Amino acid sequence: MFIDLLSWEFLLFSAFAIILVASSTGPVRTVGFLGANIAFIFALLGPIGLASTLFFSGLGWGLTRVHLTASRWAAILSATLLVLVFIYMLDYEFLGLFLPDAARLSFLQTVGLSFLLFRILHVMIDARSGVIDRIDPAVYPNYLLAFSTFMMGPIQRYQDFRDQWADRTQAIEMTYEAHLDAGLRILWGLVKVYVIGTFIFRFALQPNTDVLALSLGEFWLQLVAFYFFLYMNFSGYCDVVIGIGSLMGIRPPENFNNPYFAQNIADFWLRQHRSLTLWLTDYVFNPVYKKALSSSSFASLPLAAGIIAAMLTMLVSGLWHGTTIGFLIFGLVHGTWLAIYRIWDHVLVARLGKKRLRKIRASWPGRVVGMAITLHAAAFAFLFFQLDTPSVVALLKGLL
Amino acid sequence: MWSALFPNRSVRMTMKILVAAGLVGILFVFSATEVDFVYTGF
């Protein structure tokens, strides 16, 4: 609409927001920042995008109130309703199986809702369990709509945002050098996005690629290039918003830690989009795993319980990433990688023992092999992340 | 990394400012580049 992510206008707006938040206090700061966030979303998404966002945020707030005061079943129902509304608003491809076209309102679809959903659900669940003692109505709207993390995260926890907003914890040291470092981080993030990322993108897999028509070499190059393009694009963005957040006094969490150095697929997800992984671990993997272990069927089968929990977690992750069949397969592929890794690890521990296995993995050949396998497994899964639905369908038909 | 390379604070700050200026220069050259963000959450 009027502003693009990481454009000059975006950076000017960020400078204005930094000055606003740093120079004001009390209600002026709260209302001023909220006004700035709403203006930003309007400039980015237009009136319908803003209306969808505000509707979903309002619904989230209302259902969170219900969730906190109602019985267990009403609480489950309120969270489920929020997820169903989210699926309807984003117009997931599979809705075509259940709903006639006339009942689908694709104009409600807007970017940023998936991050918004996970922020709302986190507050909902943690406030009910007591991890969050109180939802401050003056902080919550800005937590949901903060312009810096609205579109692409990182997924900050409410407590972290609230404590920094209230100056209980400091985003960065109050030194010139720390502020210079934040500025450098913004610039380096922009270079990753605009210079390195756009260069790599020339070689990367495109959404409409006929994969079966590629040679093995071309396929490998395009996949690996897409992997590194995505890293530069997303981690560069995160560098910029972490730098802006640091200067504003509400620094989001780190989201990347050199994922190309990951030595197994579980390690990869702790290095890539880390804030999402931690969210999924807390609210999907751990509850499912504990529930499975407490059932009589899986009580003596922790490996099977872990695999089921990992598959389900990655399925949710895939569906969260996008609305098409490609993202569903993306999640299933990652679930399969995690299952293979867990079984393989189990077999190796049984054969070699933990001590010897640790020694082999710590050796340089062990590390190089682990990194190479993980990088290629992750790059392969991104095939389904990048391809559009006709290309995914053509690929699957060709393979079957 | 910076502290290991430049233990003296004044030198380090100067180097950081020079690097920042260099990055601004690079970005100025690439200012017309258009970018799509593929990780917008859906």
Return the closest-CA partner of residue A86 out of A288, A323, A313, A315: A323
Per-residue confidence band for A394, with pLDDT thresholds at 50, 70 and 90: very high
**DSSP letters along A135-153, please?**
--TTTHHHHHH-HHHHTT-
Judge if A158 and A184 occupy the same domain.
Answer: no
Give the mean model confidence (pLDDT) for residues A146-169: 94
Give the mean model confidence (pLDDT) for residues A272-295: 97
Of the partner residues B9, B19, B39, the one whose CB lies closest to the CB of residue A152: B39
Under a CB-based contact definition with an 8 Å cutoff, are residues A158 and A136 in contact? no
Judge if A237 and A381 occupy the same domain.
Answer: no
Judge if A265 and A314 occupy the same domain.
Answer: yes
Please say which residue of A133, A165, A197 terminates a domain.
A165
CA–CA distance, A191 with A304 (Å, rounded to integer): 44
A92-96, A384-388, B13-17, B33-37, range with the lowest pLDDT: B33-37
Give the containing element (helix H, strand E) for A240.
helix A216-248
The encoded tokens of residue A136 equal 């401050």
CA–CA distance, A243 with A23 (Å, rounded to integer): 18
pLDDT score recorded for residue A4: 84
The Cβ-side half-sphere exposure at A390, using a 13 Å CA radius, reads 5
The answer, yes or no, to whether residue A286 has pLDDT greater than 60, is yes
Return the closest-CA partner of residue A254 out of A143, A181, A116, A156: A156
Under a CB-based contact definition with an 8 Å cutoff, are residues A61 and A140 in contact? yes
One-letter amino acid of A223: L
The encoded tokens of residue A202 equal 């020339």
Judge if A137 and A25 occupy the same domain.
Answer: yes
Q: What pLDDT, in 10s, does the model give residues A50-61?
A: 999 999 999 999
Judge if A111 and A207 occupy the same domain.
Answer: no
Under a CB-based contact definition with an 8 Å cutoff, are residues A237 and A152 in contact? yes
**Smallest Cα distance from B25 to chain A, Å:** 10
Judge if A83 and A197 occupy the same domain.
Answer: no
Judge if A238 and A192 occupy the same domain.
Answer: yes
Judge if A180 and A264 occupy the same domain.
Answer: no
Judge if A180 and A242 occupy the same domain.
Answer: yes
CA–CA distance, A323 with A94 (Å, rounded to integer): 8
Classify A160 as helix, strand or coil. helix
**pLDDT averaged over every residue in chain B:** 89
Please say which residue of A165, A191, A213 terminates a domain.
A165
Q: Do B12 and A177 touch (CB under 8 A)?
A: yes
The encoded tokens of residue B22 equal 């260099």
Active-site residue identified among A321, A334, A346, A376: A321
Per-residue confidence band for A79, with pLDDT thresholds at 50, 70 and 90: very high
Chain A residues with CB-CB distance to B under 8 A?
A: 5-6, 8, 90, 109, 111-115, 151-153, 176-177, 180-181, 183-184, 187-188, 190-191, 193-195, 197-198, 230, 233-234, 237, 320-323, 386
* Residue A258, Cβ density class (10 Å: 0-12 exposed, 13-18 middle, ≥19 buried): exposed
The encoded tokens of residue A345 equal 């690890």
One-letter amino acid of B27: L
The encoded tokens of residue A19 equal 């000055």
Judge if A43 and A106 occupy the same domain.
Answer: yes
The residue in chain A having the minimum alpha-carbon distance to the alpha carbon of residue B9 is A177
Q: Do A195 and B37 touch (CB under 8 A)?
A: no
Judge if A224 and A274 occupy the same domain.
Answer: no
The CA distances from residue A218 to A124, A379, A386, B38, in Å, are 47, 14, 16, 22
**Smallest Cα distance from A151 to chain B, Å:** 6
Give the mean model confidence (pLDDT) for residues A276-280: 98
**Smallest Cα distance from B16 to chain A, Å:** 8
CA–CA distance, A164 with A149 (Å, rounded to integer): 15
Give the mean model confidence (pLDDT) for residues A387-394: 94
Range of the domain at A267: 259-399
Q: Do B42 and A115 touch (CB under 8 A)?
A: no
Q: Which residues of B touch A153 (CB under 8 A)?
A: 41
Of the partner residues A194, A198, A233, the one whose CB lies closest to the CB of residue B38: A233
Give the containing element (helix H, strand E) for B13.
helix B9-29
At A218, give phi and psi (nearest 5°).
-65, -45
Q: Which residues of B touch A386 (CB under 8 A)?
A: 38
* Residue A143, Cβ density class (10 Å: 0-12 exposed, 13-18 middle, ≥19 buried): buried
Tell me the CA end-to-end span of chain A in Å, nearest whole number.
42
Judge if A269 and A333 occupy the same domain.
Answer: yes
pLDDT score recorded for residue B40: 67
pLDDT score recorded for residue A348: 96
pLDDT score recorded for residue A153: 87
Q: What percent of chain A has pLDDT over 90?
A: 88
Return the closest-CA partner of residue A312 out of A290, A293, A289: A289
Q: What pLDDT, in 10s, does the model give residues A11-39?
A: 999 999 999 999 999 999 999 999 999 99
pLDDT score recorded for residue A350: 95
Hey, how many other C-beta atoms are within 10 angstroms of the C-beta on B17?
13
Per-residue confidence band for A109, with pLDDT thresholds at 50, 70 and 90: confident
**pLDDT averaged over every residue in chain A:** 95
Q: What pLDDT, in 10s, does the model give residues A207-254?
A: 999 999 999 999 999 999 999 999 999 999 999 999 999 999 999 999
pLDDT score recorded for residue A366: 95
Hey, how many other C-beta atoms are within 10 angstroms of the C-beta on A275?
21
pLDDT score recorded for residue B31: 83
**Is residue A93 situated within a structural domain?**
yes
Q: Is the dihedral of CA A311, A316, A321, A322 positive or negative?
A: positive
In the residue annotation, A321 being an active-site residue is answered as yes
pLDDT score recorded for residue A199: 96
Per-residue confidence band for B32, with pLDDT thresholds at 50, 70 and 90: confident
The CA distances from residue A354 to A146, A350, A357, in Å, are 45, 8, 5
A116-125, A255-264, A278-287, A294-303, range with the lowest pLDDT: A294-303
Please give the tally of structural domains in chain A.
3
Please say which residue of A229, A248, A267 terminates a domain.
A248
Q: Which residues of A touch B42 (CB under 8 A)?
A: 90, 109, 111, 113-114, 321-323
